[in-house]
A = this chain, B = another copy of it.
């Protein structure tokens, strides 16, 4: 495995990390303990990463960040849908 592959595997794992949180929130309909600022900040940061990836025409950056933005947007939606305590 060369160093670029290492970066790709690292990116795939950190991107996949959003999935179990979205699944748990959807299953339990409970999001009280999740800070709204985590997905909001992640989305802002990853929108910038996405612009960065588009500027560099770097496909892994584009795909990873676009996917994560979808995940964390779903989490933000569920947080507002099922939680009175923001």
Closest to A41 in B: B17
One digit per residue, 1 when the CB lies within 8 angstroms of any chain B CB and 0 when it does not, for chain A 1-17 equals: 00100110111111111
Residues of B within 8 A of A55 (CB): 3, 6
Give Cα A28 to B83, complex, Å.
15
In the complex, are the beta carbons of A46 and B10 less than 8 A apart?
yes
Give Cα A37 to B13, complex, Å.
11
Select A14's contact among B9, B31, B41, beta carbons within 8 Å: B41
One digit per residue, 1 when the CB lies within 8 angstroms of any chain B CB and 0 when it does not, for chain A 32-49 equals: 111101110110111011
Given known A-B contacts A21-B34, A30-B32, A33-B30, A6 and B48 have beta carbons under 8 A apart: yes
Residues of A within 8 A of B (CB): 3, 6-7, 9-18, 20-21, 23-25, 28, 30-35, 37-39, 41-42, 44-46, 48-49, 51-52, 55-56
